A and B are shown apart, each in its own frame.
With several copies, the nearest count.
Chain A
Amino acid sequence: MDPRTIRMTAPCSLRHRALAVRLVAEACRLVRGERSGDDLAAGYDVRDPFDVAVVSAFAEIYNNVALHACAGLVDPQIELAIAATPDGITVEMTDPGRRFDPESVRSPDLDALPEGGMGLHIARAMLDVVDYEPGPPNLWRLSKRRVAAVDPPVVATRTA
């Protein structure tokens, strides 16, 4: 177990969401190498595009877990394991709830101005990795690299 991993266990409900979201947001600051801990009272910065992406995606996944997976359970708890390094962030979240198949969720038809079904799409678009292993406990693995690869993909070209 990496001693730098940040772990949290907390009730899985919307009421407790801020505990998890704030922890993830604070971990993003560690990724960016900002000195943490010195801005408690000030406006909370979710302006940096990296933080925007990670916090937005995580909040969608958390909402789904609280609303869909853990609905009806008595005192469900989630577990978070956050690895924040200068290269990026990985958040693993386990929940004791209903399993499901994320592959069954289609991308929304954005031209139709959907009024739902956008959560997973947002998470996938914002992150590099959105993996799910059904359980119980179910495991979400969310990950984003800090610096997007700048090398263009190698494209094999053929002359026809």
Chain B
Amino acid sequence: MPIDFARADQGDTTNLRIAGTLDVLTAPGLASTIEQIVEERRPKVVVDLSGLDLIDSSGVAALVALYKRVRAVGGQVQVTGARDQPLAIFKLLRMDKVFLL
């Protein structure tokens, strides 16, 4: 599974599910979705990574970009469900605290 992501809005909350692999090859595919979420100034974004199997530094950068940009326009971001290799990478980069994992 290359990458597989889905956005679903429910009231103030945008749920973004990212599954498969998020890396230098696939992260660019998320860019326009991130752009839209930021433009629409969504108040709450919940990123569900329970289906994410692998991430690399480019994938982390994409999530950080999402996090920073949503917050810059007054929104909140919560990242949930990371496991296995992605969780190990977040811990190594000390992002588990920021992402509230």
A residues within 8 Å of B by Cβ?
A: 14, 17, 35, 37-43, 46-47, 49, 52-53, 55-56, 59-60, 63, 67, 110-111, 113-116, 118-119, 121-122, 125-126
Which of B53, B60, B92 has a CB less than 8 Å from the CB of A126? Answer: B92
Counting CB contacts under 8 A, is B14 at the interface? no
Quick one: which of B48-76 are within 8 Å of A by CB? 53-54, 56-58, 60-61, 64-65, 67-68
Q: Kindly list chain A residues whose C-beta atoms are within 8 Å of the C-beta of B65.
A: 115
19 further A-B pairs in the complex, CB-CB below 8 A; given A39-B1, A63-B23: A37-B25, A38-B3, A40-B21, A42-B2, A42-B21, A46-B54, A46-B84, A53-B88, A56-B88, A59-B56, A63-B58, A113-B68, A114-B64, A115-B61, A115-B64, A118-B57, A118-B60, A121-B93, A125-B92
Given A35-B25, A39-B21, A41-B20, residue A46 in contact with residue B53 (CB < 8 A): yes
Given A56-B89, A115-B64, A122-B92, residue A42 in contact with residue B53 (CB < 8 A): yes
Q: Kindly list chain A residues whose C-beta atoms are within 8 Å of the C-beta of B2.
A: 35, 38-39, 42
Number of residues on chain B facing chain A (CB within 8 A): 29
Q: Kindly list chain A residues whose C-beta atoms are within 8 Å of the C-beta of B68.
A: 113, 115
Counting CB contacts under 8 A, is B98 at the interface? yes
Q: Kindly list chain B residues whose C-beta atoms are within 8 Å of the C-beta of A14.
A: 24-25
A125 to B25, CA, bound (A): 23
B residues within 8 Å of A by Cβ?
A: 1-3, 20-21, 23-26, 53-54, 56-58, 60-61, 64-65, 67-68, 84-85, 88-89, 92-95, 98
Given A14-B25, A39-B1, A39-B2, residue A118 in contact with residue B85 (CB < 8 A): no
B25 to A113, Cβ gap below 8 A? Answer: no
What is the chain B residue whose CB lies nearest that of A43? B1
A136 to B61, CA, bound (A): 30
Q: Kindly list chain A residues whose C-beta atoms are within 8 Å of the C-beta of B23.
A: 37-38, 59, 63
